Amino acid sequence: MTTAVACCQLAPQLGDLAANRELAGAAIADAAGQGAAIVVLPELMSSGYVFESQAEARALAEPPDGPAVTTWARLAADLDIVVVGGFCEAAGAEVFNSAALVDASGLRCVYRKAHLWDAEPRWFARGGAPPPVVATRHGRVAVMICYDLEFPEWVRLPALDGAQLLCAPVNWPAYPRPDGERPAEVVRVQADAAINRMFIAACDRIGPEGGVGWVGGSVIVDADGWPLAGGSTSEVQVTLLAECDLGAALDKRVSPNNDVLGDRRPELYRRVAGG
Amino acid sequence: MTTAVACCQLAPQLGDLAANRELAGAAIADAAGQGAAIVVLPELMSSGYVFESQAEARALAEPPDGPAVTTWARLAADLDIVVVGGFCEAAGAEVFNSAALVDASGLRCVYRKAHLWDAEPRWFARGGAPPPVVATRHGRVAVMICYDLEFPEWVRLPALDGAQLLCAPVNWPAYPRPDGERPAEVVRVQADAAINRMFIAACDRIGPEGGVGWVGGSVIVDADGWPLAGGSTSEVQVTLLAECDLGAALDKRVSPNNDVLGDRRPELYRRVAGG
């Protein structure tokens, strides 16, 4: 049995919360109409990304029971699907770069980005909690955000917690790369998946904003690290859809005598954890 | 200033120690003749790989001052180069899947593979020491072996110790992969390199042995994770050569405000080290 996973690669409008709710809502409904059971949206889908001040970020931030996540939760209930999307989170005096997972039962978790990119520390506080792993009716689904994916120690945590699919809202800034090469971010996602035998759905954005261009490299990779959909560069809004045999992620064997988690030697890894 | 790094992808003959010394010696001399300053040989270059018994492995094992490593050290001295190669190591009652780094001054380190593949535990003891990082006149060079590369915690250790180039003797068994894809092992090496901003030279073998075929996927990747040489499948003995600006590996910045090592949050990674 497979699960249809979608990435809705969209172009959020900086600062237009209502337009972004409408854009995401239409994309979620369209993906569900195509059969998607799990839908991933970009990082900071609610607000856009390229803020210029802390005040701007704060003005665009919403709590998890605010309009953006509430809209996604209503659609998840109406359509009986799982939605993972990034939003600008207001939490008391702080603002976080967060992602929510909602399903038919409502809000299941909020994750706060732990590894912040470039100017983000100017407006976002750093998350300090590990990536959550949520038992959905399709299997165990984890959440992290963009630059987090480049810290394999961080990716390892949900794998150790039994995640079968890692959903990662991202906003990948575009950099030059050699001709014929996949985006470097995609290569790293492939490796993240393979070394943990875990599916990964990374949903990127498009639409230049404040001088920043984006890879448009949304990708869904299987537990061997091979792209099932996406993974190149795109400049259009698009919904990627891939049938994922999430049960494959429960089998960590890579040879008759090897297991990617069982073969770890954590007692030798202390220094990666500051020990 | 760049350093010429070579991978000599060879076909060792199982059990023929003298032939393998000759094969490696000729390849080292040839690589040096092409200008290589650092030469990497495959895993278990001294002995071949597909043993059938502990007794066979023991009979083919040599100490670090045995003929194989001594030959490489003599060539390193004669040619004023660095050589890293895999050998079947005799150590008292134990046998290890090891690699030596030699330079003009002689033996600099022996590394013992810590993550064993498939049948290897039947004849090899597991190493328990971290990958060594050796200060050579070309920069800091680390050593690990094959399946070790699939544990990013392990790859992180030499990066934390300042390695600029990781030399990895490998014997990558061939598996099917989707059309048009690079070998999965190469993808993982690309990610290993990029997330640490460290060059990696992985030297594979060819020549079917005991029913096992090999990827022949030797690759030299730069600190951004892009292949400078190799990385596809080959069925021939070949010397890859790439000019590597190893100084680039000293700069861990990936944006004006990001540093791949400095951005780590080791206090949050305790569980990857069993904590």
Checking if the pLDDT of A275 tops 90, the result is no
Q: Which residues of A touch B145 (CB under 8 A)?
A: none
Q: How confident is the model at residue A67 (pLDDT cuts 50, 70, 90)?
A: very high
Asked if B269 and A267 come within 8 Å (Cβ–Cβ), the reply is no
ipTM over the 0.95 cut-off: yes
Instruction: Give dist(CA A272, CA A257) in Å, integer.
Output: 26
User: Region A175-191: what's the mean pLDDT?
Assistant: 97
Report chain A's C-alpha Rg in angstroms: 18
Work out the angle at residue A12's Cα, subtended by the Cα atoms of residues A62 and A198, and round it to the nearest 5 degrees.
85
Q: Which two tokens stand for residue B132?
A: 């060594």
Model pLDDT, residue A21: 98
Model pLDDT, residue B275: 81
Model pLDDT, residue A144: 98
Q: Which residues of A touch B195 (CB under 8 A)?
A: 150-152, 188
Q: Which of A146, A150, A232 is nearest to A183 (CA)?
A: A232
Task: Return the number of CB contacts < 8 Å for A and B.
Answer: 157
When CB atoms are compared, the residue of B126, B191, B269 closest to A153 is: B269
Report the chain B residue with the minimal C-alpha distance to residue A254. B118
- Does the pTM surpass 0.90? The reply is yes
Residue with tokens 């802390």: A54
Report chain B's C-alpha Rg in angstroms: 18
Q: Which residues of A touch B260 (CB under 8 A)?
A: 150
User: Region A60-66: what's the mean pLDDT?
Assistant: 98
When CB atoms are compared, the residue of A118, A255, A273 closest to B266 is: A273
Instruction: Enumerate the active-site residues of B.
Output: 43, 113, 146
Asked if B272 and A268 come within 8 Å (Cβ–Cβ), the reply is no
Could you tell me the sign of the dihedral formed by the alpha carbons of A23, A29, A31, A34, in that order?
negative
How does pLDDT run across A212-248, given as a tens digit for each residue? 899 999 999 999 999 999 999 999 999 999 999 999 9
Instruction: Give dist(CA B201, CA B126) in Å, integer.
Output: 23
Checking if the pLDDT of A210 tops 90, the result is no
Which residues in chain B come in under a pLDDT of 70? Answer: none
